[in-house]
């Protein structure tokens, strides 16, 4: 059932496998043809979509998979004996298998959720339930008490911060933060002081959605497991872009969202180690997750069903299965190589523009295919509006990471995030757009003095 | 360069006000104050109302950070407010809001809003209406907080 290809282990755990080739121009063109939306005109210009960090575009293969399901198999899964119900159930479980294989997990370790946010909340609320005694002795390891500690980082998306803030508030546990260095990496040197005997959970993002930093999972897992703490990995920005092997990474839980990896909205994944999921008390309760129900109580199915109460997101799960099939066929290692090039082109180009300060690793340092930046004297809304006028879609604001922005002394930034279908020419158009936006808004500050700040990527 | 539409949104008056902000800088004591945040982008404003002896607005003072639209809007509002009494101010806020929510259908009323009519182009950019409204919402809230007059 579970397949853990040796190549995947090597490329993610050691990052030492033979480097994959980025796409050729012809390959990229063929690939772009799979995404009809990329031919759209926006404000009289061809769309340049650089907001895949927020949500990705979808190829025809994914749209077709969802539509085909509705045309030919639509029915209730795990709830009926008729032919369509059996076929729908099979497709639904095939999709689970495809996703499990894609991230190096077992089928029964993949729980469907609506998105990563729900997946993380599921864990936090299940721990909350364990903290008031639900789940019996087996769930004792998930119970939090006053004085216990939860460790997150200063770079978390609010989705991997607020569920822990709330869990801490409900249980009396304390939330602690691993700080960031000026270059956008974690202060790993401080982590051993923060992750200690009282630590019960360490939750952190694999890849920062703002900085593009790739965090050292193995180091943090070693620290956490060294003190018996559980690890939750936010894989939202890694699962779509990097070869992921969750067993090799040895994390206890992981969460990601389908819509950022070519699938529709409404489907996400919680990964949990088998023995943990089967000991964790449920979060949502209701139909389809029980073995026996009496008027006094119920017995729950093993994972993953025990966490999948109610009618499921069947078409979306099937479409996510098709999406990972598409990513596998293209080759996730090649996608990673292509995006690394785009990421470097973004950061090099941005760093060369007067008045622009890139957040996160400087040019030449490891980062994924995204870059967030601040322009001295010009608000990100204005930069984004100017780019939109040329059909260039970027994200502006705090990207759901206010503590991170505060850490760098800014309230908002502009983010360009690439995916497999973006070209170098698009990156260049975006860079020209940023330079022209500065001319258009021409803040006197930029003309008078160059940007300062210790996180300046040119430093 | 940039399209005519973009020039319509970012009229020169707006760019000028966003750089030279009238009313910027809080004063030791106002008659009422309001703090507003635009949750989608984190833009913030703190705005104080100062009243004259006759109960009309003598001046607005504000501090905050945000895009050129929100900053220019606060600056233009600071030019508009002095000398206007509280009911008149409420009328202007309502009129501005109606134009802003009209998706470009209603021209702002120059008699009521003066130079602030240059913000009219914003109403066609739904995502930016909140930026233009931020200072006005702060003023509306501050007016509600004014102590009742004997
Ligand atoms: C790093 C990270 N974590 C969590 C999320 C939340 O994902 P979703 O909103 O799909 O639940 C996102 C995306 O917005 C993200 O980038």
What is the rounded distance in angstroms from the CA atom of residue A197 to the CA atom of residue B149? Answer: 60
Nearest one of A413, A435, A437, A402 to A359, comparing CA atoms: A413
The answer to whether residues A44 and A132 belong to one domain is no
Ligand 1 center to B1 CA (angstroms): 35
Half-sphere exposure of A360 (CA within 13 A, CB side): 32
ipTM given for this complex: 0.87
A397: nearest CB among B9, B42, B65:
B42
Residue B30 in tokens: 């106002």
* Whether A411 and A362 share a structural domain: yes
**Closest CB from A379, A440, A444 relative to B2:** A440
Angle at B22 between CA B16 and CA B26, to 5 degrees: 140
Helix (H, G, I), strand (E, B) or coil at A159: helix
Q: What pLDDT is attached to residue B127? A: 87
Rounded-to-10 torsion of CA A330, A336, A337, A343: 130
Q: Are residues A141 and A261 in the same domain?
A: yes
Residue to mutate, A52, A117, A217, A370, ligand 1, most ligand atoms under 8 Å from C-beta: A117
Task: Write the CATH number for A383.
Answer: 3.90.1150.10
- Counted residue by residue, chain A has a size of 459
In terms of domains, do A152 and A24 share one? no
Q: Is the CB of A372 under 6 A from ligand 1?
A: no
Q: How far apart are CA A33 and CA A39, in angstroms?
A: 8
Question: Which ligand 1 atom is the nearest neighbour of the CA of A259?
Answer: 10
Nearest CB partner across the interface for A396, out of B6, B10, B41: B41
**Residue of B2, B69, B128 with shortest CB distance to A389:** B2
Domain boundary pick from A282, A300, A328: A328
Question: Token digits for A70?
Answer: 């509705």
Residues A30 and A108 in one domain: no
pLDDT of residue A446: 46
Q: Collect all residues of chain A within an 8 Å Cβ-Cβ radius of residue B69.
A: 381-382
Burial of A327 (0-12, 13-18, 19+ CB in 10 A): buried
Is A450 within the bounds of a domain? no
Gap from B78 CA to chain A (nearest CA, Å): 21
Q: Is the CB of A209 under 6 A from ligand 1?
A: yes
- How far apart are alpha carbons B133 and B93 in whole angstroms? 9
CB contact under 8 A, A436 and B6: no
Q: B1, A440: Cβ pair inside 8 Å? A: yes
A257 lines ligand 1 (CB under 6 A): yes
Does residue A115 line the site of ligand 1, with CB under 6 A?
A: yes
| Catalytic residue ranges of A | 400
Looking at the complex, report in whole angstroms how far the Cα of residue B149 sits from the nearest Cα belonging to chain A.
Answer: 38
Residues A371 and A343: beta-carbon distance below 8 Å: yes
Residues A172 and A252 in one domain: yes
Does the Cβ of A121 fall within 6 Å of ligand 1?
no
CATH of the domain at A209: 3.40.640.10
Tell me which DSSP letter residue A36 carries.
Answer: G
In angstroms, what is the span from residue B98 Cα to ligand 1's centroid? Answer: 35
Nearest to B40 among A397, A440, A444 (CB): A397
What's the CA gap between A90 and A83, in Å, rounded?
11
Integer Cα distance of A382 and A400 in angstroms: 19
CA B78 to chain centre: 7
Ligand 1 pocket check for A156: Cβ under 6 Å: no
Cα–Cα separations (whole angstroms), residue A295 to A292, A298, A299, A300: 10, 8, 12, 14
Nearest residue, CB atoms, B42 vs list A382, A386, A398: A398
DSSP string of A278-298, one letter each residue:
HHSPPSS-STTSEEEE-SS-E
Ligand 1 mean position, distance from CA A117 (Å): 7
Question: Do A153 and A277 belong together in one domain?
Answer: yes
The last residue of a domain, from among A281, A313, A328: A328
Residue B29: other Cβ atoms inside 10 A = 8
Q: What angle do CA A216, A239, A151 make, to 5 degrees?
A: 45
- Is the CB of B68 less than 8 angstroms away from the CB of A379? yes
Could you list the pLDDT tens digit for every one of the 459 residues in chain A? 333 333 333 334 444 456 799 999 999 999 999 999 999 999 999 999 999 999 999 999 999 999 999 999 999 998 778 999 999 999 999 999 999 999 999 999 999 999 999 999 999 999 999 999 999 999 999 999 999 999 999 999 999 999 999 999 999 999 999 999 999 999 999 999 999 999 999 999 999 999 999 999 999 999 999 999 999 999 999 999 999 999 999 999 999 999 999 999 999 999 999 999 999 999 999 988 999 999 999 999 999 999 999 999 999 999 999 999 999 999 999 999 999 999 999 999 999 999 999 999 999 999 999 999 999 989 999 999 999 999 999 999 889 999 999 999 988 999 999 999 999 999 999 999 999 999 999 755 544 444 444 444 333
- Does some domain include residue A452? no
Position in ligand 1 atom list of the atom nearest CA A260: 10
Q: A42, A43, A372, A381: which to substitute to probe chain B, counting the most B Cβ within 10 Å?
A: A381
Best of B67, B126, B131 to disrupt the A interface by mutation (most A CBs within 10 Å)? B67
Judgement on whether residues A86 and A202 belong to the same structural domain of the protein: yes
**Residues A203-226, buried b or exposed e (16+ Cβ, 10 A)?**
bbbbbbbbbbbbbebeebbebbbe
The C-alpha of A398 sits at a distance from chain B's nearest C-alpha, in angstroms, of: 6
CA-nearest of B70, B62, B59, B63 to B18 is B70
Would A455 be classed as within a structural domain?
Answer: no
Q: How far is A441 from chain B (nearest CA, A)?
A: 7
Bond from prior residue into A304 cis (ω within 30 degrees of 0): yes
- Pick from A76, A168, A45, A46: nearest CA to A421: A46
- Residue ending a domain, among A328, A361, A390, is A328
Q: How many domains are contained in chain A?
A: 2
Mind spelling out the 3-state secondary structure of chain B?
A: CCCHHHHHHCCHHHHHHHHCCCCECCCCCCCEEEEEEECCCCEEEEEEEEECCCCCEEEEEEEEECCHHHHHHHHHHHHHCCCCCHHHHHHHHHHHHHHHCCCCCCCCCHHHHHHHHHHHHHHHCHHHHHHHHHHHHHHHHHHHHCCCCC
Round the average pLDDT of chain B to a whole number and report it.
92
In the CATH scheme, what is the code of domain B4-23+31-144? 3.90.1010.10
Helix runs in A114-213, H state only = 116-131, 162-171, 191-194
Q: Which residues pair with A253 in a beta bridge?
A: A232, A272
Q: What tokens were used for A274?
A: 């088998």
> How far does the CA of residue B45 sit from the closest CA of chain A (Å)?
13
Q: Residue A255: name the closest of A140, A115, A390 by CA.
A: A115
In a domain, A126, yes or no: yes
Interface residue ranges in chain B relative to chain A, Cβ cutoff 8 Å: 1-3, 5-6, 9-10, 15, 19, 40-44, 65-69, 125, 128, 131
Residues A167 and A308 in one domain: yes
CA-based nearest residue to A113, from A317, A327, A324, A321: A317
Q: Are residues A43 and A174 in the same domain?
A: no
- Which residues on chain B are in Cβ contact (under 8 Å) with A398? 41-42
Domain-embedded: residue A459: no
Is A449 part of a structural domain of the chain? no
**DSSP SS3 for A425:** helix
Q: Indicate if ligand 1 lies below 6 Å from the C-beta of A56.
A: no
Are the beta carbons of A366 and A411 closer than 8 angstroms?
Answer: no
Q: Tell me, in angstroms, the distance from the centre of ligand 1 to residue B63's CA.
A: 32
**Helix H segments across A280-423?**
314-330, 332-351, 380-388, 402-407
Residues of A in CB contact (< 8 Å) with B are: 43-44, 378-382, 385-386, 389, 396-398, 402, 405, 411-412, 436, 440-441, 443-444
Rounded to a whole number, what is the distance in Å from the CA of B68 to chain A's nearest CA? 7
Domain that holds residue A372: 6-58+332-443
CA dist A378 to A413, A439, B74, B126, Å? 10, 11, 17, 20
For chain B, list residues with pLDDT below 70. 1-2, 149-150
**Based on the domain organization, do A253 and A395 belong to the same domain?**
no
Residues on chain B touching A385 (C-beta within 8 angstroms): 6, 9, 67, 125, 128
Is residue A422 within 8 Å of residue A372, measured between CB atoms?
no
What integer pLDDT is reported at residue A81 of this predicted model?
83
Instruction: Identify whether residues A183 and A292 lie together within a single domain.
Output: yes
Ligand 1 atom showing the smallest separation from residue A118 Cα = 11
């Amino acid at each position: 059932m579970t397949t853990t290809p040796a190549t995947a282990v090597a490329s993610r755990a050691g990052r030492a496998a033979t480097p994959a080739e980025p796409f050729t121009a012809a390959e990229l063109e063929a690939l772009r043809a799979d995404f009809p939306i990329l031919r759209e005109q926006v404000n009289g210009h061809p769309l340049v979509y650089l907001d895949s960090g927020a949500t990705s575009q979808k190829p025809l293969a994914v749209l077709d998979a969802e539509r085909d399901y509705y045309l030919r198999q639509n029915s209730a899964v795990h709830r009926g004996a008729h032919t369509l119900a059996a076929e729908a159930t099979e497709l639904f479980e095939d999709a689970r298998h495809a996703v499990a294989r894609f991230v190096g997990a077992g089928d029964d370790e993949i729980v469907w959720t609506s998105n990563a946010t729900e997946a993380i909340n599921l864990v936090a609320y299940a721990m909350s339930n364990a903290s008031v005694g639900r789940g019996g002795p087996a769930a004792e390891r998930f119970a939090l008490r006053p004085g216990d500690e939860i460790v997150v980082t200063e770079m978390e998306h609010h989705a991997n911060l607020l569920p822990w803030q709330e869990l801490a508030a409900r249980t009396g546990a304390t939330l602690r933060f691993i700080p960031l260095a000026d270059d956008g990496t974690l202060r790993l040197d401080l982590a051993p002081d923060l992750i200690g005997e009282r630590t019960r959970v360490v939750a952190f993002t694999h890849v920062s959605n703002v900085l593009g930093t790739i965090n050292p999972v193995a180091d943090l897992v070693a620290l956490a497991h060294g003190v018996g703490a559980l690890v939750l990995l936010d894989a939202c920005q890694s699962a779509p872009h990097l070869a992921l092997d969750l067993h090799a990474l040895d994390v206890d839980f992981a969460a990601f969202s389908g819509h950022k990896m070519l699938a529709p909205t409404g489907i996400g994944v919680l990964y949990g180690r088998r023995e943990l999921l089967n000991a964790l008390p449920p979060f949502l309760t209701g139909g389809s997750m029980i073995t026996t129900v009496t008027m006094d109580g119920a017995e729950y199915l093993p994972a993953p069903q025990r966490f999948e109460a109610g009618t499921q997101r069947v078409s979306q799960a099937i479409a996510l299965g098709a999406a990972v099939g598409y990513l596998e066929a293209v080759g996730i290692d090649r996608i990673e190589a292509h995006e690394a090039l785009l990421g470097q082109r973004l950061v090099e180009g941005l760093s060369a523009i007067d008045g622009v300060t890139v957040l996160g690793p400087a040019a030449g340092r490891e980062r994924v295919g995204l870059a967030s930046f601040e322009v001295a004297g010009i608000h990100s809304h204005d930069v984004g509006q100017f780019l939109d006028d040329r059909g260039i879609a970027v994200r502006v604001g705090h990207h759901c990471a206010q503590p991170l922005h505060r850490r760098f002394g800014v309230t908002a930034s502009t983010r360009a995030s690439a995916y497999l279908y973006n070209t170098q020419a698009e990156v260049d158009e975006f860079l020209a757009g940023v330079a022209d936006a500065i001319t258009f808004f021409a803040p006197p500050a930029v003309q008078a003095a160059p940007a300062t700040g210790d996180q300046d990527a040119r430093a | 360069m940039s399209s005519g539409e973009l020039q319509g949104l970012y009229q020169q008056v707006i760019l000028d006000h966003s750089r030279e902000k009238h009313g910027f800088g809080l004063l030791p004591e106002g008659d009422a104050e309001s703090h507003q945040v635009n949750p989608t982008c984190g833009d913030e404003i703190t705005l104080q109302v100062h009243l004259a002896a006759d109960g009309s607005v003598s001046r607005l003072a504000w501090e905050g950070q945000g895009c050129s639209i929100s900053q220019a809007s606060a600056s233009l509002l600071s030019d508009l407010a002095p000398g206007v009494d509280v009911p008149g101010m409420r009328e202007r806020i309502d009129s501005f809001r109606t134009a802003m929510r009209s998706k470009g259908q209603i021209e702002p009323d120059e008699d009521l809003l003066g130079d602030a009519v240059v913000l009219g182009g914003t109403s066609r950019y739904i995502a930016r209406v909140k930026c233009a409204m931020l200072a006005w919402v702060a003023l509306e809230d501050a007016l509600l907080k004014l102590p009742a007059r004997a």
